[in-house]
């Protein structure tokens, strides 16, 4: 159980970090959009909402309670939301003349294309971390349910054996 709690804490922390990075980068894009009126405002707002929700939930669920594993359905939904955000970001990169979505050369130079690709990368990583958290939650909850059912069944059969 201690391994699953440590892994859960690591995943929640990684979700927080990825969400915070995306939140900051997209907030910068939204600020630039306010000045220049260029860019995909709808995609940016969607990604910003998903990132803000992820940051808040990952902070709350980083607190080690037993019920943190019961949120696996929300983890799965947020993973799907992150994959959708990643898809919308990848779709826009072709229109922005920044090269292919997975051409990572030159990302360290900064600029619009580098920041956009960094947002894509952290969105994808966040989706993976939320999906891993959902898988961990499913594993822990169903393993606990299976062990409780097995132990109750064996006690019952021992007490009432004829």
In a 3-state reduction of DSSP, which class is residue 98?
A: coil
Domain count, the chain: 1
Q: What's the Rg (C-alpha) of the chain? A: 21
Whether the per-residue pLDDT at 97 is higher than 60: the answer is yes
In angstroms, rounded to a whole number, what is the distance separating the alpha carbons of residues 84 and 50? 10
Report if residue 161 sits inside a domain.
no
pLDDT tens, residue by residue, 46-88: 999 999 999 999 998 888 765 666 778 899 999 999 999 999 9
pLDDT per residue over 1-50, tens digit each?
688 888 888 999 999 999 999 999 999 989 888 777 666 788 899 999 99
Domain that holds residue 34: 2-136
pTM of this structure: 0.80
Rounded-to-integer distance, Cα 56 and Cα 51, Å: 9
How much is the pLDDT for 147?
52
Distance between CA atoms of 37 and 5, rounded to whole angstroms? 45
Q: What is the pLDDT of residue 63?
A: 80
Other Cβ atoms closer than 10 A to 103: 12
Residue 129 within any structural domain of the chain = yes
Per the CB < 8 A criterion, the answer to whether 56 and 3 are in contact is no
């Amino acid at each position: 159980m201690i391994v699953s709690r440590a892994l859960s804490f690591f995943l929640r922390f990684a979700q927080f970090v990825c969400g915070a990075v995306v939140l900051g980068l997209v907030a910068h894009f939204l600020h630039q959009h306010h000045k220049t009126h260029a860019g995909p405002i709808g995609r940016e707002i969607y990604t910003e909402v998903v990132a803000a929700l992820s940051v808040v939930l990952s902070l709350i669920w980083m607190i080690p309670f037993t019920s943190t594993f019961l949120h696996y359905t929300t983890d799965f939904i947020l993973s799907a939301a992150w994959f959708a955000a990643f898809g919308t970001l990848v779709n826009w990169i072709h229109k922005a003349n920044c090269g292919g979505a997975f051409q990572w050369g030159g990302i360290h130079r900064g600029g619009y294309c580098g920041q956009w690709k960094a947002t894509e990368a952290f969105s994808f990583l966040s989706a993976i971390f939320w999906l891993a958290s959902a898988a961990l939650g499913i594993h822990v909850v169903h393993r606990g349910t299976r062990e409780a059912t097995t132990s109750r069944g064996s006690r019952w059969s021992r007490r009432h054996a004829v």
